[in-house]
Amino acid sequence: MTIRRMTRVALALSMLSTVAPAMVFAQSAPPYGTPITIDRAKQAAAAATAEMRRRNMEMTIAIVDSGSNLVYLERSSQAGIGTIDAAIGKAKAANGIKAPTKVIGDLIINNNQSNLLGVPGAFPVEGGVPLIVDNQVIGAIGASGGMPTDDGAVANAGAKGLQP
């Protein structure tokens, strides 16, 4: 095998290793469903708020429907003003990719996909989680105001609040 051919094979394998996780991820995502109602959004927000209080934090929680339209927003009285746009951005990004926003950050860090930083609306920080009911994405929740792991835990609690 020539050096040129070995280089091409190595390059192809390298590209496959960075693209394959995203391809598998996109194929396994559930379909969009009927948009979340305001009552269901409040239910998810209540579960997220309970986790936020358990952690003794001040946050903003945003819920978008399956079309990425803001349905519900709740901000703690001492949560920073900047947490509003961050929570909405995380919710929209999670809805757009039908997966937690942590996935975007993981792809950037673990698979060297820094090109994702240039995607409009990509939010590579933990804290956005899709809301899945009956194996359909009905919207997403975003939480902002703590460290990324705290934001993720609060958003996940909100998502779990919709499960039977």
Query: In sequence order, what DSSP letters do the residues of 70-125 get, joined into one string?
Result: EEEEEE-TTS-THHHHHHHHHHHHHHHHTS-THHHHHHHHHS--GGGGGSTT---S
| Contact in structure between 108 and 126 (CB atoms under 8 Å) | no
Report phi then psi at 61, rounded to 5: -125, 125
Which tens digit of pLDDT belongs to each residue from 89-138?
Answer: 999 999 999 999 999 999 999 999 999 888 888 999 999 999 999 999 99
8 Å CB contact between 121 and 18: no
Q: Is CATH 3.40.50.800 what the domain over 31-160 is classified as, yes or no?
A: no
Q: What is the pTM of this model?
A: 0.83
Going by pLDDT thresholds of 50, 70 and 90, the confidence category of residue 156 is very high
- Residue 24 pLDDT grade (very low, low, confident, very high; cuts 50, 70, 90): very low
- Whether the CB-CB separation of 90 and 60 falls below 8 Å is answered with no
Q: Which sequence spans correspond to the domains of the chain?
A: 31-160
Q: Which two tokens stand for residue 134?
A: 């009956």
